[in-house]
């Protein structure tokens, strides 16, 4: 199996997103962590911190807009399924109770990007 088929096992990532990620990131080892990969895509909060007080803003929107858009669209599909059946991903259902739908969707896209990095570096199939 190659990277595309490994990535396609992640919920919210289909064949188009998997092939786009595999094409854009030939070597996932260039990133130290999944968070660094998500930041490269522009899916991490932009810090506005000073004096030891940490404040996080909206996502930075740096990096590849096409991949970010694909991940957010895939996360939107997962959110729709969880809203119908909250037992699929209880942590996401709890997040949807606390946050707006768009914030939860972008948070899930961030998590999906981190999972994608882990799947690519370990060369394994996603296991929930």
Whether residue 65 lies inside any domain: the answer is yes
Mean pLDDT across 78-106: 90
Asked if residue 16 is part of any domain, the answer here is yes
pLDDT on residue 1: 57
> Mind listing the pLDDT tens digit for each residue in 25-80?
888 889 999 999 998 998 877 766 777 777 666 676 777 889 999 999 999 999 99
- Is the residue at 127 inside a domain? no
**Sign of the Cα pseudo-torsion (68, 73, 79, 81, in order):** negative
Domain annotation covers residue 98:
yes
Asked, for residue 61, whether it belongs to a domain, the answer is yes
Query: Residue 88: what pLDDT?
Result: 84
pLDDT at 89: 87
Q: Quote the pLDDT of residue 12.
A: 92
Residue 56 to residue 44: CA distance in whole angstroms: 9
User: Does 63 map to a domain?
Assistant: yes
32 in a structural domain: yes
C-beta of residue 125 within 8 angstroms of C-beta of residue 119: yes
- Nearest of 110, 11, 13 to residue 59 by alpha carbon: 110
CA torsion through residues 107, 110, 116, 119, sign: negative
Helix (H) or strand (E) holding 45: strand 45-47
pLDDT tens, 4-21?
889 999 999 999 999 999
Domain that holds residue 51: 3-122
The number of distinct structural domains making up the chain is 1
Domain membership of residue 128 (yes or no) is: no
89/57: higher pLDDT: 89
Q: pTM for this structure?
A: 0.87
Quickly list H helices, the chain. Answer: 3-7, 15-24, 34-41, 65-84, 90-98, 101-122
- Taking the CA atoms of residue 27, residue 41, residue 72 and residue 59 in that order, the dihedral angle to the nearest 10 degrees is 160
- Measured CA to CA, the distance from residue 61 to residue 43 in angstroms comes to 7
pLDDT for the residue numbered 57: 67
Looking at residue 123, what DSSP letter applies?
Answer: T
pLDDT of residue 121: 92
Whole-number pLDDT of residue 3: 83
């Amino acid at each position: 199996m190659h990277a595309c088929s490994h990535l396609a096992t992640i919920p919210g990532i289909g064949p188009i997103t998997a092939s786009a990620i595999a094409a854009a990131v030939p070597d996932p080892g260039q990133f130290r962590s999944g968070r660094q990969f998500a930041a490269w895509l522009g899916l991490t909060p932009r810090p506005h911190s000073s004096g030891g007080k940490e404040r996080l803003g909206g996502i930075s929107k740096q990096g590849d807009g096409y991949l970010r858009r694909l991940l957010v669209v895939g996360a939107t599909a997962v959110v729709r399924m969880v809203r119908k059946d909250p037992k699929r991903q209880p942590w996401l259902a709890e997040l949807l109770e606390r946050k707006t739908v768009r914030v939860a969707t972008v948070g899930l896209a961030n998590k999906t990007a981190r999972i994608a990095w882990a799947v690519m570096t370990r060369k394994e199939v996603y296991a929930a």
